[in-house]
C-alpha cells in the first residue's frame, strides 16, 4: 500500500480537480476517502485511486454514444 498526497495526485496523475471539488466528491461518495497522516495532512491509498480511475474509465467507454443522426 502506498499513500499519495493531493499534490502527488495533481503532479503525477494529472488529476483535473481542485482540493475543494475533490473533497466535495469524497463527501458525495464519488471519490475515495483520504486517510489522516498528520495533524493537517491527508493522503489517499493509491490502490483505491487506481480503482476509481478504472471504474470511471469503464463508465465512459461503456456508455452509449449520443444519437447523432439527423432528421
Phi and psi, residue 55, nearest 5°: -65, -45
Phi and psi, residue 70, nearest 5°: -90, 150
Q: Residue 10: give the domain boundaries.
A: 3-62
67 part of a folded domain: no
pLDDT at 66: 59
- Grid coordinates 486517510 are at which residue? 35
pLDDT at 67: 57
- Interval 6-25: pLDDT, tens: 999 999 989 999 999 999 99
**pLDDT (average), residues 34-57:** 93
**pLDDT (average), residues 26-38:** 96
Number of domains in the chain: 1
32, pLDDT greater than 70 = yes
CA 28 vs CA 22, 23, 69, 71: distances in Å = 10, 9, 36, 39
53 part of a folded domain: yes
pLDDT at 5: 95
Classify residue 36 by its DSSP letter: E
Amino acid at each position: 500500500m502506498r499513500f499519495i498526497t493531493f499534490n502527488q495526485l495533481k503532479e503525477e496523475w494529472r488529476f483535473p480537480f481542485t482540493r475543494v471539488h475533490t473533497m466535495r466528491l469524497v463527501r458525495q461518495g464519488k471519490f475515495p476517502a483520504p486517510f489522516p497522516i498528520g495533524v493537517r495532512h491527508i493522503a489517499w491509498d493509491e490502490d483505491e485511486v487506481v480503482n476509481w480511475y478504472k471504474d470511471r474509465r469503464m463508465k465512459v467507454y461503456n456508455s452509449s454514444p449520443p444519437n447523432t443522426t439527423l432528421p
